[in-house]
Amino acid sequence: MTVVKALTIAGSDSGGGAGIQADLKTFQELKAYGMSVLTAVTAQNTLGVQGVYPLTVSQVEEQLDSIGEDLKPDALKTGMLFSAEIIEAVAKKIQQYDMNNVVIDPVMIAKGGAKLLQDEAIDAMKKHLIPVATVVTPNIPEAEAITGLTLNSMDDRKEAAKRLYHLGAQNIIIKGGHGEEKEVIDLIYDGETFTQLINDRQITENTHGTGCTFAAAIAAELAKGADSLDAIRVAREFIQVAIEDDLHIGSGHGPTNHWAFQSRRAKV
Ligand SMILES: Nc1ncnc2c1ncn2[C@@H]1O[C@H](COP(=O)(O)OP(=O)(O)OP(=O)(O)O)[C@@H](O)[C@H]1O
Ligand SMILES: Cc1ncc(CO)c(N)n1
């Protein structure tokens, strides 16, 4: 049996729906051995974020050294990185250990509005992290914050994708969860071609951690050898059913269902 390894570099969500917890659940469901480098602890539930406690840069670096020296991942994803210093350290270690198949989810704000990235860290993200991305997965507000554009139309999103490409990312997906359309349109750009993935928009409160889960699924598929577009297509299916078969946990924005994808496959 060939075992592939996937790494998440992200924050902990005590509520289990987003962050490291969502990533590890997703890796497991997609049969990638999951590993984690923690950047911050959050006290969080479906109602919101009650506390944010970043780790020190050296604590993050030491974890990355432990992974890099023994357990080189076949793919990795980044989530909440919190500060410019952590972003720079992570980018440096990715290069030092020659880690490939890098999915960058430029997490900035939790759905309830809590800040998971300091404003002054956006420049570091542009300068250090987006250039090492195999795939970068901003939602619409994140793409706006990175590019400085206001994204009102699909043409605006295409222009933002081009700018992200020029920052050095190989593949861009601007996620449409925050869009106004009746359907959810995720826009992909690989430097040459635009591809739109169009899916039914689910009317539900339970979308906590959709971005984390989606990016982790891309990383798991890349780890198994898929090309970027195929990895994104599987991840899109994974998140669609995780939203459709929601769990109804907590009294706020509940998590998605990380086992829905495998449960549905088992029924076919
Ligand atoms: N209501 C919905 N119905 C169907 N798909 C959705 C819905 N909301 C989000 N998605 C899908 O989930 C994925 C994540 O998109 P989204 O824009 O919600 O990310 P995000 O804002 O980064 O998430 P997070 O809450 O983790 O920060 C995308 O593929 C998007 O199309
Ligand atoms: C720890 C963490 N990372 C990412 C997100 C974004 O969903 C969140 N809410 N919490």
Helix %, strand %, coil % of the chain (to 5): 40, 25, 35
Distances from the Cα of 85 to the Cα of 81, 122, 164, angstroms: 9, 11, 21
Q: What is the pLDDT of residue 233?
A: 98
Is 268 among the domain residues? no
pLDDT band at residue 86 using 50, 70 and 90 as cut-offs: very high
Strand order in the sheet with 75-78: 48-54, 33-45, 5-13, 75-78, 102-104, 135-136, 171-174, 183-189, 194-200
List residues near ligand 1 (CB under 6 A).
18, 111, 139, 175-178, 184, 186, 199, 201-202, 207, 209-212, 214, 236, 239-240, 243
CA of 20 to the centre of ligand 2 (A): 8
Average pLDDT (87-98) is 98
211 ligand 2 Cβ < 6 A: yes
**CA-closest residue to ligand 1 atom 7:** 177
Model confidence at 268: pLDDT above 80: no
Is 36 among the domain residues? yes
CA of 38 to the centre of ligand 1 (A): 23
Burial class (CB in 10 A: 0-12, 13-18, 19+), 79: buried
Q: What is the pLDDT of residue 223?
A: 98
Annotated catalytic residues are 175, 207, 209-212
Is 145 among the domain residues? yes
Decide if the complex's ipTM is over 0.90.
yes
Is 120 among the domain residues? yes
Average pLDDT (164-187) is 94
Is 165 among the domain residues? yes
Average pLDDT (155-180) is 96
Q: Structural domain of residue 85, as residue ranges?
A: 5-262
Please state the domain count of the chain. Answer: 1
Model confidence at 136: pLDDT above 90: yes
CA of 227 to the centre of ligand 1 (A): 22
Instruction: For 177-218, write each residue's pLDDT tens digit.
Output: 988 888 999 999 999 999 999 999 999 999 999 999 999 999
Is 19 among the domain residues? yes
pLDDT exceeding 70 applies to what percent of the chain? 100
Q: Write the CATH number for 99.
A: 3.40.1190.20
Is 183 among the domain residues? yes
Pocket test for ligand 2, best of 41, 55, 107 (most atoms within 8 A of CB): 107
18 ligand 2 Cβ < 6 A: yes
Judged by its nearest atom, the ligand closest to the C-alpha of residue 210 is 1
pLDDT band at residue 112 using 50, 70 and 90 as cut-offs: confident
